[in-house]
Amino acid sequence: MPQIVKARRLEGQVAIVTAATLGIGYAIAERLGLEGAAVVICSRKKENVEEAVASLKKAGVQKVAGIECQISNPEHQKRLVDFTIEKFGKINILINNHGINPAFGDMMDLEDRTWDKLFETNVKSGWQLTKLVVPHMQKEGGGNIVFNASIGGYITSPMIATYAVTKTALLGLTKALSRELSRQKIRVNGIAPGVIKTKMSKALWESGEEGLAAAQEISMGRLGVPEDCAGAVAFLVSDDASYITGETIVIAGGVHARL
């Protein structure tokens, strides 16, 4: 597991991290909090949010709150933003970490409603949430937005092609929004994780990590852990990345996603 460097680069900032009770989202919330940010997390189940908030406090995150949120519901999105303003007074950072993959199989066999659900959750909801937070970022003189895409956005895999298409859409959304928001001093970037050891990817790695690493051509010979992603996100939203926008960092242990 990567060693966390407590640089406190985000002192005084307020961050929203969606889908943050487990895995990559939780690791991002923890890292941003340890970097000095006040953090608001959300997830679908209230009990999971409460457990995660307690765990983050125990880990040393000083300012953290959480709220139940069905991220594809516009009313819940607004409630999340209002809750953050009520708790901490401003918004500087938005991490669109949420995503679902309810469909395994060929795209030609997919039902329309499943296609719509994938795009509504994985793509549309992040765009909607971005629209809600931008006015608050403008009041603060700028901000940072990060989308969690996937290496699948570059290299599709059999059986999860539709999920991969939504992640490719996020790559485009990141670039488009970065152009539109740059003059407002709002940077928009993304991460594209490879196979990370989380609950969502368990079916891929539970049969044996070394074999999967070889099959995926991971030159580092290991799978990623959520903390690998958290460190990259902390960098992207800090002033260390002040001249970076519209980019997506591939976090895949050497799997080649482009030239």
Pairwise CA distance, residues 77 & 69, whole Å: 7
Q: Supply angle C-alpha 109, 119, 142, rounded to 5.
A: 160
Count how many Cα atoms sit within 13 Å of the Cα of residue 130 in the half-sphere of its side chain: 24
Q: Do 117 and 102 meet the contact criterion of CB atoms below 8 Å apart?
A: yes
User: In whole angstroms, how far apart are CA 17 and each of 67, 87, 190, 206, 230?
Assistant: 11, 15, 13, 27, 11
Q: Which amino acid is at 22?
A: L
| Count of Cβ atoms closer than 10 Å to residue 214 Cβ | 11
Among residues 26, 154, 163, 243, the one annotated as catalytic is: 163
Q: Do 85 and 65 meet the contact criterion of CB atoms below 8 Å apart?
A: no
User: In whole angstroms, how far apart are CA 58 and each of 53, 106, 163, 225?
Assistant: 9, 44, 35, 20
Active site residue 26: no
| Count of Cβ atoms closer than 10 Å to residue 100 Cβ | 16
Q: Which amino acid is at 137?
A: M
Count how many Cα atoms sit within 13 Å of the Cα of residue 168 in the half-sphere of its side chain: 13
Distance from chain centroid for Cα 75: 21
Angle formed by the axes of helices 23-34 and 226-236, nearest 10°: 50
Residues marked active site are found at: 163
